[in-house]
Chains A and B, each alone.
Chain A
Amino acid sequence: MKLSKILKNGFLIVVACLALSACATSKKSTGQMQGDVYTGTDTVEYLASGVPDRVFFATNESVLTTASRETLRKQAAWLRKNSKITVVLEGHADERGTREYNLALGERRANAAKDYLMTYGISSDRISVLSYGKERPVDSGSNPLAWSKNRRSVTVKAN
C-alpha cells in the first residue's frame, strides 16, 4: 500500500520533471524522504570513509529504520577497529513539539542508537548520550523535508 503510493509519487515527479525539463529544485524536495524519514545525504558527514555519522527518525518515533541499522553497524565496525575512540550520541527532534518533550525524545533517540551499537559489541563506557531536543536544527526551514533532516541522532567523536 505505502510502497505503491511512494512509487506513484515518484512517477508523478518524473513526469513533472520531463514537462519542466529543468527540475533540480523539485527533485531535491521530494526524492529525499521515505514516509517522513529522511533518506538523503545532504547533511550527512562521515566518521571515516563509508561510515555515515547520523541516522534519521520518523515523526515522534525513536524506532531505528533498516537504513539506520545499517549505518549503525558500519559505525560499530569502525568503533571496534578504533578501540580508543569514544563517542557522544547527540539526539535531536524537529521543531514541531514542545521544548520539554523534545528534550526527552532526543534522549530516547540517541539511546536507541546507543543500544544498537552495544548489541554490536561496543561497550557502554565508550558511548555517552546528549539530547539537544529541538535546540540545534541542521536545517532551519519550517517544512517537512527540513524537519526530517532534524529528527536525528548524530555520532560525534569525543576524543
Chain B
Amino acid sequence: MKNFLVTLIIILIPVKSFGLIEVDITRGNLDPLPIAVSPLSIDDESRKKFKDILKKNNIGSEISSIVENNLKVSGLFNPLNKDAFLQEPDIANLKPRFEDWNLIKAQALITGKVSYVEEKLRVEFRLWDVLAGKEMMALAFTTVPNNWRRVGHIITDKVYERLTGEKGYFDTRIIYVAEEGPKTQRVKKLAIMDQDGANNKFLTLGNELVLTPRFNPTSQLVTYLSYFRNLPRVYLLDIETGTQEVVGDFPGMTFAPRFSPDGKKIIMSFAKDGNSEIYTMDLENRIVEKITNHPSIDTSPSYSPDGKFISFNSDRSGYQQIYVMKSDGSNVKRISFGKGIYGTPVWSPRGDLIAFTKLHKGKFYIGVMRIDGSGERLLTENFYQEAPSWSPNGRVLIFYRETKTDSKGKGFSAKLWSIDLTGYNERQVPTPTDGSDPSWSSLLSN
C-alpha cells in the first residue's frame, strides 16, 4: 500500500490534558457527545484546482462530511446540524467564538483548512473543547489529492483517539464476499471497500465460488477459499498486484483460512475421509504442520494476538463447541458450556475476548466470552447471522445477516452489519450488492 502514504506533520504540540471532554466507550452510549464539524475552509484558487482534479465542487465540505458521517456512525458522537452554525469556517479555524458554539450546545468543535500546495492536498484541522474554550489538538498533513477520503478518515481517527483515549478504526477497509442471484445459484465475488462503504471494488469476476476472505496483519494480502476448477482450496491473493496462488499442496479440500498475527503462517482446515483437521503452513519455507488430531470436525481456527494460543470450533463433544489450545496443538480445553451450539470463534485484537456465533432454539446470536469461556454476553439475536470480525481497536464487530426465505424462495437477502461491543449501535453497513463474510483490516495509517 505504498500509494497510501500520508505524510503527517504535527504543526503544534498542544496535546494538553486539561480537556474537560471525555467519551466513555466502555458502556452503551445513550447520550452521544454533541460535536460541531465546521466545513473545512478553502481559498478560491485551491477550490478551483481540486474541482478540476477531483470533480468535487468543494473538497473542504466533502472531507468534513466524511468526518461527520464517521462520528455519527460510531454512535458516540452527535454531529450538530450545520444550519445552526453562526461562525464562518475560515474565521472559526483561526479563533472560535466559543459563546456561539456553546449556544448551539456543541461541546466539541472541529475546524480546519484545505489548500493546494505543489500539486498536493494539504489539510490542517483543530479540535476545540468548547466549554473550556481551549484547543485540544492541531494537526496538518499533506498527501496526493486522490487520498481525500482517507484524509477524512484519518481526521476522525485522531479526534476519536483524543476524545476516547483509544485508537480509532476509520481509516480501514473491509474485504467481503459480494453476492448476487438466486439462492440456489448464488454468484459470489471478492470485494473490498472502505469501512464506510465507499470505493467498492470487485477483486474476482464471479466465475467461481469464493468464500471467507481474511486480511493479513498489514492488510496487503488476503487468504480465502476458492472453488477454482471445482477444487475448493485456500488461496493467497496480493491486493496490489492481483497475483494469486494456492496455499499448500493438500490432497483434498482446504478451507477456513486465517493468518497468524505475525503474518508468517496461514492456519486452516484440511478435510480428508470425512475428518477435518487444523493445519498451518509457513509462507516462507512452505512447511506444513498438523495442529489437531481428532476424528471430529475441527475448524474455524483463530490465533490469540500474541500467537501463543488458538481458538477453534470442534464437534468432538457431539455438538459444535469452542475450544482453546496452545499453538502447537497441546492443552486442548473446551471453553463454551452454555446452551446451544457455538461456532466461528474470533480472538479480539485486545486479547481478552473471543467473539462467536451461537445457535440456540432456532435463533442465531453474535456474542462474546472471556478466553476461559466465562462472562458470555450475547450482543444480537436474529433468524440467521454469523462470522463476526473485529475492528482493529476491538470495539466494534462486523458480521453478516441473512433473511428468511419463503417457500417460493422469495425474500432472501444477505447484508453486512456492525454492532458495538457494548451491544448498542447496531447498523447495516452499506454495500452495492448483497454481502457476506466480512473481514476488517488493520488501521492503514498508524
Contacts and interface: CB of A to CB of B under 8 A. Distances in A.
Whether chains A and B associate is yes
A57 B386 CA distance: 23
A108 B274 contact: yes
B212 A141 contact: no
A148 B357 CA distance: 22
Contacts of A115: 274
A45 to B, nearest CB: 15
Given A95-B402, A105-B297, A140-B184, A100 B232 contact: no
B381 to A, nearest CB: 15
Interface string B184-198: 111000000000000
B383 A103 contact: no
A36 B197 CA distance: 41
Given A107-B253, A108-B274, A142-B404, A96 B359 contact: yes
Interface string B337-360: 000000110000000000001010
B300 interface: yes
A116 B62 CA distance: 64
B101 interface: no
Nearest to B269: A104
Contact of A104 (B273, B276, B357): B276
Contacts of A104: 255, 269, 271, 276, 297, 299
B319 A107 contact: no
B143 to A, nearest CB: 38
B437 interface: yes
B10 to A, nearest CB: 44
B344 A100 contact: yes
Contacts of A130: 230, 232, 253
A100 B405 contact: no
Interface string A43-83: 00000000000000000101000000000000000000000
Interface in B197-230: 209, 211-212, 225, 230
Given A142-B383, A143-B407, A97 B343 contact: yes
Contacts of B442: none
Nearest to B402: A95
A31 interface: no
Nearest to B211: A99
Given A100-B255, A141-B405, A141-B406, A107 B184 contact: no
B415 to A, nearest CB: 15
Interface in B255-286: 255-256, 269, 271, 273-276
Q: Which of B185, B252, B253 has the most C-beta atoms of chain A within 10 angstroms of its own C-beta?
A: B253
B274 A107 contact: yes
Given A100-B344, A140-B412, A142-B383, A135 B209 contact: yes
Given A60-B319, A142-B405, A101 B183 contact: no
A97 B359 contact: yes
Contact of A111 (B232, B273, B300): B273
Contacts of A87: none
Given A111-B273, A138-B184, A146 B407 contact: yes
B398 to A, nearest CB: 15
Nearest to A25: B407
Contact of A62 (B274, B383, B402, B412): B274
B232 A103 contact: yes
13 contacts: A62-B274, A95-B384, A99-B436, A101-B299, A101-B343, A104-B299, A107-B274, A108-B274, A111-B273, A131-B232, A137-B183, A140-B405, A142-B406
| Across the A-B interface, the 7 shortest Cβ-Cβ residue pairs | A111-B274, A140-B409, A140-B183, A98-B343, A104-B276, A104-B297, A100-B256
Interface of B: 182-186, 209, 211-212, 225, 230, 232, 252-253, 255-256, 269, 271, 273-276, 297, 299-300, 313, 315, 319-320, 343-344, 357, 359, 362, 383-384, 386-387, 402, 404-409, 412, 436-437
